[in-house]
Amino acid sequence: MIKEMDVQELKAKLDSDEKFYFIDCRELEEWQEGHIEGAALLPLSEFQQRYEAVLTEKDAKIVVQCRSGKRSMNACMFLLSQGYSDLNNVEGGILAWTQAGFPVI
């Protein structure tokens, strides 16, 4: 099942040091322009080739974020088809994150 997570919930999870996989599925150029601290870059263009090396636990909480929420939903749908179960798509992506005034590095 894929759940939607808003940026306030993501910020609270990051601030509380909760353990989860946090994936940014934008492309490298977008990542270099600014990203959320704690995220791992796994571009959607390379996702199917590289996801198993990064996401080693199929039952762990996985949070996926992109620019606006569309690519991250595609990544979540792919992971669901591969047997991952605790999937969370960040609504509005990094656009919503920065609009809320949260920092990027």
Nearest to 63 by CA among 8, 10, 26, 1: 10
**Do 103 and 20 meet the contact criterion of CB atoms below 8 Å apart?**
no
Of the residues 66, 75, 94, 96, only one is catalytic, namely: 66
Under DSSP, is residue 4 helix (H, G, I), strand (E, B) or coil?
strand
76 is catalytic: no
State the catalytic residues: 66
